[in-house]
């Protein structure tokens, strides 16, 4: 999504320690009503899964009826590390985010 802007928070889930897993809650600065195409529509935007290999997992998702909704991207986040991620759609059209972090 060109020029997308969002803000959010990661909430630690209880019982797992100080690092993960987290529930990420965020909001886009602009949202669209309904529809399946844009990730910034109202409602559930995506479910994020941390995976070992983003590219391989995305390829498997496509092989099983899903599709990519973007390109595999790598971004350094100051104080957090480097994230590799891609947005995709499962076979039912739901947006899923595949991500992997490293220091």
> CB-side exposure of 13: number of CA atoms within 13 Å?
7
Three-class secondary structure of residue 61 per DSSP: helix
What CA–CA distance (Å, rounded) separates 5 from 60? 29
Contact 101, 83 (CB under 8 A): yes
Contact 86, 100 (CB under 8 A): no
> What is the predicted pLDDT for the residue at 75?
94
pLDDT tens track for 10-62: 888 888 877 778 887 877 787 766 555 566 666 666 688 999 999 999 999 99
Question: Which pTM does this prediction carry?
Answer: 0.64
Helices (H), 1-103: 54-63
User: Which domains, and CATH codes, for the chain?
Assistant: 1-45 (no CATH), 46-103 (3.10.180.10)
């Amino acid at each position: 999504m060109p020029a997308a802007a969002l803000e959010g928070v990661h909430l630690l889930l209880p019982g797992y320690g100080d690092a993960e897993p987290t529930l990420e809650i965020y909001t886009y600065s602009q949202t669209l009503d309904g529809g399946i195409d844009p990730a910034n529509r109202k409602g559930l935007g995506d479910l994020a899964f941390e995976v070992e290999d983003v590219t391989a997992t995305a390829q498997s998702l496509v092989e099983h009826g899903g599709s990519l909704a973007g390109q595999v991207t790598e971004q350094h986040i100051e104080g957090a590390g480097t994230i590799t991620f891609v947005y995709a759609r499962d076979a039912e059209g739901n947006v899923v985010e595949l991500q992997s972090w490293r220091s």
